Structure 1
Amino acid sequence: MDNDDSGAGRIRIAPGYATLQLAAALRAVSDHPDPHVRANGATKARQWEQVMVGMFTGAIAIGSRTPLDGAPAWVTPDVVKGGFATGDFKAGGPLQGHELATLAAAGMAPAPAARRWLNARLLTDEGLASLYALLDSGCYEINVPEEGALLVVAWLTRHGKLEQAREVLDAIAPWFDRLRFYPVPAAQPRRFGERVFLAPVSAAVSALQKRQGDGNQRILAQRAAVRLRLPLYDRVLRLFLDSVEGAPPSIDIGADGAWRDPASGKFRIAGGWPCRLYPAGWRERGEALLREWQANAVAARKDDSLAELCGYLHLCVTEPAALSGRDVGRIRLILGRYISKRGLPGSAQLAALRSAQARQVAAAPYHLLAGVLAERLRAVAQDGGLDDPAPLGVPVTVAEAASLGEDAGAPIPAVLLAKLDRCSIESVPVLVERGVIGSAEVLAGVLPQLSAAINGAALAEPSLKQLYGALYQAFRRRRSLLLQNLQSQVRIGELPWVAAVNAQRQQDVAPRTLARRTLDELALLALTSFPQTAIPNPLIQELNTLADNAGLDLPLVEELAADIFMGTFGHKFANVAAHASAMLDDSLYCHYYGIDAAVRAQLRELAQRRDGSAATRANADGLTGLCEARAGVRSGFGTVINNAMVIEQQQILTTHNLAALVARLDLDGELQAHYERMAQQCFTWICRNQHNALNAWPGDPRAIRNAAYAWRQMVFFLSMTAAATHADFIAWAHSHLAQESPRLRQRLAPALAGLELAAAGRSLDDPASLASGARRLLAYAKGPHWMAVA
């Protein structure tokens, strides 16, 4: 394999994954009933076709941080699932709406060279003045980092930093014909501060529009029945009762409550017969009811009693002689069942029933109220969050009610107001407490908003601070590439215009203090709120950024992908593992995972090799060899399960950042009161996770992997408590597990037995321990996993 990073085609990856993704997209196009899903599938199919063509021709270097031939690292590529570049540029492609509007205003056609003109015009006096106005107002959106480049040039020019502006232009000018280096105009400025939101207002509008479009056919049918069909039914029935000779028909209900004769199976009907008497005006009343029936189209079914009566009514009005004795008997039965069940028309029994039904349908349907709430939201800036959702939740106004044909004052239901939670602007802890942020992954998704403000705190000039915040968030939306050979993702400082902004930073104590305080708070929040979840890579990225701004050396390691692991770790992994083993020396964690004195000594030796590239390579290779020995497999390209087993051993040795966060941020004192509760939360989550897996797919490798990760977190937190707590926790875990199903107890009992042995200081690798059935819960195994067959 040629790993030179100098040209296209230098890294070859098997196209199997891309082929599967293309096949899945094509299946969606041909088979899925939803037209939106089919359209999305067609887009994905085109993207994966581009990926495969680029892979086979060498135009796309999959696995490189510069996958597109001739494009510098700062150009944002279009990236699909798995980190595959499609060959397109995120800031390129067809002209967008605001670009076409600018061309139309200038009387220009959207020619192939239009984007070059759109970029170049902003370097004229008039163009720079328009950029200055955007900087002053903040009314712009930067969706891709490139879209902020000319705003940076304008700021530098305005402040007399012409040489720096020229350097940025030298880097981006060759791309004027292909990329957008200007922002999208916006109605309101985007704010950056210590409060965040999960989704923009436009997302809530879309969700409400979907609810509005779906409606609720059952409720609509019920309303139509109560308001139109049932009153008509009552009047038709009264009309037929007026034609009865004798007492009104009824069902002779037996003492046992039976409506039918047990011998014949027929209804026992008593009373007179209809269609014997036709009072004056009876036919005219019948004709009016038939016209109402036809005009309102109230017949939902052709086999219901009202439809039958109206059919008979038509005969009575037009050709009464055509009624047979069987027809009259059927009418009599319908009248008798109606009266016996509901009461006579005009009776208190029927009035009470109809009143209760009217109350049931009086409230405005949710889909109409969803439309009201969506319309209120349209008056708010669509790309931001909501400072105060409360005014949007007031009852339906008179004007709104008039447009709906409903009564005013209807409250907006809580289920609809809950759709505003994701766009409510609040502090991160409050959103976590409310459950709006429900996982570490979601937490990582909102942190760029917070980090944007903190990272920009060292910029004194307000417009530059605002611009940096927009650039930072846009950069964090950049999708990661699939990389090989320990290459790093492109960093924000590599963008020429961002580097120019960074040069304007003031080295002040206050921004560092803010970054450190935020770093500590977020680390505590992630660990205590989602203790069962390994710190995800996006969250690691944000924590690293905060640490950099705080001037703190925080050694965090990313989760590596097994399918592209090349059989070696970066040198920082060995250092982190050595520090973690020193912190956990002779602890429950070390006993459970077999990190004995010899392993700890080997890790200490690796940590001492810090100087020189040769020592760094030995450091990394030494950790790889240790992990391979512990996993009992060799790693390398193509052996995915072996790679996964080796990576898991690295995660065990490094504690996947738990030790680094606790030690380097000095969080142990604040966490002591929470460790046992966090361990219990992990165990409870594992039980729930495995319960669901047993009901769905007992051998689900993803469920086993997630359980093993949560178990590792649990063992770490428990190791940070006093030894006496271990026995209490194990007793609690046994009690908790005893309440679960026998299958779940059987599945988790070996892992819990292993924890109990480790707490007693015994090795899980001893033959006696293995013979007892105790097992170490790991995510992967050479053969069938013991949890998959339990």
Structure 2
Amino acid sequence: MSEDIRGGYAVEQWARAFVTALTHEDEATRRRADERVRRWRDVVRGIAGGSLTPGSRAPVAGLPAWVTPVVVHGGFATGEAAAGGPLRAHELAVCERFGLPERRRALMAHHLAGDGLAELLRMLDTGEYRVDLPEHAALPVLAWLLRAGDEDAARELFAEIAPFADRLGFAPAPAPPAGDPAVVWRGTAGQAAAALAAREPNGRVEAMREALAVWNPFADDLLRWWLDGDLGESADEPWHERGVALLERYRLLAANHTRCAKHRRPKENLAVLRHALEEVVAGRELTPRARGLLRHAVASMVRRRGEPGSARHGELRSRQAAQLDVPAHHTTAREVVRRLASLPPDRGVPDVAELCAPVDGVPVPAAIRRVVARALAGTVEELVDAGVVPSAEVLARLVPRIAATTTAAAYPDEALRTLVAATCLAFRNRRSLLLLDLRHQVRVDELPWVRAIARHRARGEGTRHDALAALRRLGELALDAFPGTTLPNTLVRELAELGREAEVDLPWVEQLAADIYEGRFSPKFSRAAEQAGDHLRGSLYARHYALRQGPVGDLDALCRGRSGVSGWSVAGNHAIIEQAQVLTTHNLVTLVARVGVRGDWPALARRAFDTAVRFAGRAPTSTRPQATAKLARDAWRHTVFFLSEAGSAAPPAWLRDHDGPLADQVGELLRCYGPARANRSGEPGS
């Protein structure tokens, strides 16, 4: 396993990207694959040359753990530092403005004296900056420390970051103030505009519009011509001249309108009439077969639509003309893009209804509204209620702003509070590394500039209370919005961060990757399992899953025994890890018994059950049947937990009456019902 981690996996990913870059039919996909080839090549060469150590908290030789690495799929560092590379546009502008050499060390020196230091302090006071990477907060923190008179902390911070001054950028970019920290968005106005601007005309829709606007009027005129001439029986010179003009018109239309191809298909009525027209104009007699086809086509057209000029025919063409008055989707999208252009491109949108107001009196299509709605700005609860948050993973991407603001609230100085919040948000974008030997990811308080301001933080009861309130709020939101979904690791990390701010020692457990599972769990998993066993003693959940009480002992051996797995395999690791989720309830007991999350347990149980049934029904035909079945088992586990919290001695009717997917599990659970246990709710931190 370790040998595969050190090289095999990286080589495989490199090869896959190389094949995609050579063979994929889409040019944009090939370009993206070229970039993946470059990065995986760097990974493979770094591992082979010893400059990269997969599984380490500091995988890049010469860079400390706090430096943000560039990370590719699977948690492999490429050897690059995210804050390195060429100077950014605003950095080049500073160099040009002050006549500095285009080198990072010169920029650092500039920012620590004179105009550069004054500009950093102005940014701090106005909030007019953007921290894209955690490193970009280092110099503003140093400037703040100097202004606060904390020269010792400033000197220590400078000593720690100065050795990397020629490789990393430590200053933020100018930008408008961040705005209300309670307001979040899934996408930005700029992203919505780019997605809509990329919309191309729909080929089928445009062909239909061409048929209505071009070929239907021509077909009407051609049919009228044949009817006026009694299908050629009453031909005269004016009639013949009209036919010549019609044929010339057809040739022009066919050359300039190529989307609709029906007029070229020999069996189509229009093609039959046009072929007969060509014969007559050329002075040739129609063959008996051609005349028969002509008569059939004319009769069919009149029977279906009526003669041109009749009331029935006029009503049909009026309805079709109304369809043409409706703007095409890509035309409407361009108008919405124009409206979006008036908003800041890096923020969410305040009002979807206003941006999607009717265009020329025609409602904006739902497909375009959905793109704009993804950029809606509001509180997390408002976005969930608006249906903009479709999964727990998306929810996890929205909550860092709340956690960052809560963390920053402990700093009395307003400028420092804003800077810390920006730093925490940037840190949340740091991709997780592949770690071995139960190591933990780098935490925000390990950053040198965050450590440097630790003494300026005021920890008080109010701060802890606010952090606990935010933790409870997010926990209740997650369970209520997605009761059948296991908390994703990104959300678990946010909850754990809030728990640390609340100074509550809670055993948050993550979902583990089966392909790198090393056969042992960290101590917090055992704590979570013991906590769950105590809280669920005598409950429906405990009976259904045969939980043991008291200390769990060797959790690794216990999970392996419950799963029936021997030896090492990815499939076996999945089974072992799933048993750990059963025993720990994967943070459900932590949320309910320790944080104090409350919910409508019967309603949550029913919704989690519906999720379980949905996934169980999909699993047999899914392209990923094992993963889909795992989602069903997760939702089923949540169902049993919520039913246990409801504490009813009798199963609900919807469970008793179920005979679809999961019927066997339902039957087993029904046999576990007995006297309800008395619910016990521990105080947070108890």
Decide: shared fold, TM above 0.5. yes
For 1:94 and 1:287, the matched residues in 2 are separated by 64
SS in 1 for 2:485: coil
Read off the aligned partner of 1:234 and give its amino acid letter.
Answer: D
Equivalent position of 1:512 in the other structure: 464
Equivalent position of 1:193 in the other structure: 181
1:446 to 395, 398, 402: 398
Read off the aligned partner of 1:411 and give its amino acid letter.
Answer: P
2:253 to 293, 314, 318: 293
For 1:73 and 1:283, the matched residues in 2 are separated by 83
For 2:528 and 2:264, the matched residues in 1 are separated by 75
Residue segments in structure 2 that go unaligned for 5+ positions in a row? 676-686
Displacement of 1:145 in angstroms is 0.9
For 1:291 and 1:412, the matched residues in 2 are separated by 36
Equivalent position of 1:176 in the other structure: 165
1:576 to 513, 524, 528: 528
SS in 1 for 2:479: helix
1:216 to 174, 184, 202: 202
Task: Tell me, yes or no, if the aligned pair for 1:200 and 1:384 is still in contact at 8 Å.
Answer: yes
Q: Does 1:367 align with 2:330?
A: yes
- Cα distance change on mapping 1:502 and 1:447 into 2, 3 Å: farther
Displacement of 1:200 in angstroms is 2.0
1:555 to 507, 511, 521: 507
1:21 to 4, 13, 21: 13
- Cα distance change on mapping 1:78 and 1:325 into 2, 3 Å: same
For 1:647 and 1:424, the matched residues in 2 are separated by 37
Equivalent position of 1:775 in the other structure: none
Q: Normalised by the size of structure 1, how large is the TM-score?
A: 0.78
1:740-759 mapped onto 2 (5 Å cutoff): 740=660, 744=661, 748-759=662-673
Q: Does 1:497 align with 2:449?
A: yes
Task: Tell me, yes or no, if the aligned pair for 2:619 and 2:626 is still in contact at 8 Å.
Answer: no
Equivalent position of 2:555 in the other structure: 623
Range with bigger deviation, 198-207 or 556-565 = 556-565
Q: Does 1:648 align with 2:575?
A: no
1:693 to 596, 600, 619: 619
Displacement of 1:76 in angstroms is 0.5
Read off the aligned partner of 2:626 and give its amino acid letter.
Answer: P
1:664 to 562, 577, 594: 594
Displacement of 1:536 in angstroms is 2.1
1:386 to 333, 349, 360: 349
For 2:492 and 2:471, the matched residues in 1 are separated by 11
Q: What is the identity percentage for the equivalent residue pairs of Structure 1 and Structure 2?
A: 38
For 1:566 and 1:291, the matched residues in 2 are separated by 73
Give me the CA root mean square deviation.
3.0
1:506-526 deviation digits (Å, cap 9, x = unpaired): 234433332222211211122
For 1:707 and 1:346, the matched residues in 2 are separated by 62
For 1:16 and 1:70, the matched residues in 2 are separated by 24
Read off the aligned partner of 2:655 and give its amino acid letter.
Answer: A
Displacement of 1:686 in angstroms is 1.6
SS in 2 for 1:178: coil
Task: Tell me, yes or no, if the aligned pair for 1:140 and 1:185 is still in contact at 8 Å.
Answer: yes
1:545 to 492, 497, 506: 497
Q: Normalised by the size of structure 2, how large is the TM-score?
A: 0.89
Read off the aligned partner of 2:188 and give its amino acid letter.
Answer: P
For 1:490 and 1:760, the matched residues in 2 are separated by 46
- Cα distance change on mapping 1:14 and 1:448 into 2, 3 Å: same
Displacement of 1:692 in angstroms is 0.8
Residue segments in structure 1 that go unaligned for 5+ positions in a row? 3-10, 250-271, 397-407, 607-621, 762-790
1:436 to 371, 375, 388: 388
1:120-269 mapped onto 2 (5 Å cutoff): 120-186=109-175, 188-210=176-198, 212-213=199-200, 215-242=201-228, 244=229, 248-249=230-231
1:513-556 deviation digits (Å, cap 9, x = unpaired): 32222211211122232222222221121111112222323332
Read off the aligned partner of 1:575 and give its amino acid letter.
Answer: R
- Cα distance change on mapping 1:69 and 1:361 into 2, 3 Å: same
Q: Does 1:77 align with 2:37?
A: no
Displacement of 1:75 in angstroms is 0.3
Work out which of the two has the higher radius of gyration on C-alpha atoms and give 1 or 2. Answer: 1
SS in 2 for 1:15: helix
For 2:285 and 2:242, the matched residues in 1 are separated by 16
SS in 2 for 1:293: helix
Q: What is the aligned length?
A: 670
Equivalent position of 1:257 in the other structure: none
Displacement of 1:107 in angstroms is 6.6
For 1:184 and 1:663, the matched residues in 2 are separated by 44
Equivalent position of 1:6 in the other structure: none
Task: Tell me, yes or no, if the aligned pair for 1:21 and 1:48 is still in contact at 8 Å.
Answer: yes
Task: Tell me, yes or no, if the aligned pair for 2:272 and 2:293 is still in contact at 8 Å.
Answer: no
- Cα distance change on mapping 1:751 and 1:409 into 2, 3 Å: closer
Task: Tell me, yes or no, if the aligned pair for 1:275 and 1:328 is still in contact at 8 Å.
Answer: no
Return the structure number with greater relative CO, CA threshold 8 A, min gap 6: 2
Equivalent position of 2:317 in the other structure: 354
SS in 2 for 1:278: helix
Q: Does 1:471 align with 2:471?
A: no
Q: Does 1:682 align with 2:608?
A: yes
Equivalent position of 2:40 in the other structure: 48
1:380-431 deviation digits (Å, cap 9, x = unpaired): 11111122333322233xxxxxxxxxxx333323331222222212222222
Equivalent position of 2:681 in the other structure: none
Q: Does 1:719 align with 2:641?
A: no
Displacement of 1:365 in angstroms is 1.0
1:431-462 deviation digits (Å, cap 9, x = unpaired): 22232222222221111011122222222333
Equivalent position of 1:278 in the other structure: 238
Q: Does 1:484 align with 2:436?
A: yes
Task: Tell me, yes or no, if the aligned pair for 1:192 and 1:450 is still in contact at 8 Å.
Answer: no
Displacement of 1:465 in angstroms is 2.2
